[in-house]
Amino acid sequence: CDFVANVSHELRTPLTVIGGYLETLLDSDSSAFDPWRQPLHRVQEQSRRMLHIVEDLLLLVRLESRKERPPFKPVNAPALLAAIVDDAIALSDEQAHPISVIADPDLWIAGSEKELHSAFANLVFNAVRYTPAGRRIEIRWFADDSGIHLMVEDEGEGIAPHHIPRLTERFYRINRDRSRDSGGTGLGLSIVKHVLNHHGGQLRISSQLGVGSLFTCDFPLDLRLERAAVSARNVTGLR
Ligand code: ADP
């Protein structure tokens, strides 16, 4: 709705400015700042979180609006996933989850790069955030007769069956504190669902408590592009 969009938009600038000042303060190596460093880091963390919520809200409002969206373009999904995995490794940090990616290097997709980035990153980062240190996370990107698929599988805490149908609701969280502590906004899966709808796809979730979860994005085959075909078309476009 317009109201949420306007509020989010208005909040973004001051939050960005606050973040900028905090960064400058924290960059200073004057020892006078030492007693303040720790609390300032906390403030920075919280202001980043607010900015993250605002950005997720803006994206969600945009996804829900019926306005014309830019046409789909070829998206280099394997490269997109590689970049997301780099960020996931940074997020996992000392928890050192082994993250494996098996991606068809020639499988591109027609879509919105920004939206797909957001959807895929949400699923991969959730896997990191809800999986205990050291347990495996596996990402697969492939096509078969039924469509194009992204699978994100973890050996995490799992989800009880009664929660599963509600996970894509806005702000639905199984454990609010847990989600907050790990930097969640409660909007991630609802963004994923909207992005998939926009691409004519769907999200499937299967999980077992204490064993792990599998999130699958299915896209229709007509969005499939081959890397070779995309390059050939670019060459033709240059002539
Ligand atoms: P959040 O920002 O809280 O992670 P999401 O919409 O991304 O919001 O996810 C909603 C809820 O689904 C989370 O709070 C968490 O309880 C649950 N969840 C999401 N991904 C996983 C996962 N890989 N393993 C276990 N629980 C998950």
- Torsion sign (Cα): 229, 230, 231, 234: positive
Express each pLDDT in 27-41 by its tens digit.
988 888 889 899 999
Is the whole-model pTM more than 0.75? yes
pLDDT for residue 190 is more than 60: yes
The pLDDT of 166-174, averaged and rounded, is: 93
Q: Look over the chain and give the mean of its residue pLDDT values, rounded to a whole number.
A: 92
- Name the pLDDT band for 236 (thresholds 50, 70, 90): low
Q: What is the pLDDT of residues 72-129, one digit of tens each?
A: 999 999 999 999 999 999 999 999 999 999 999 999 999 999 999 999 999 999 999 9
How far is the centre of ligand 1, averaged over its atoms, from the C-alpha of 158 (Å)? 10
Which residues form the pocket of ligand 1, taking CB atoms under 6 Å from any ligand atom? Answer: 122, 126-127, 130, 154, 156-157, 159, 167, 172-175, 179, 184-190, 213
In this prediction, residue 181 has a pLDDT band, given cuts at 50, 70 and 90, of: confident
Give mean pLDDT, residues 190-195.
96
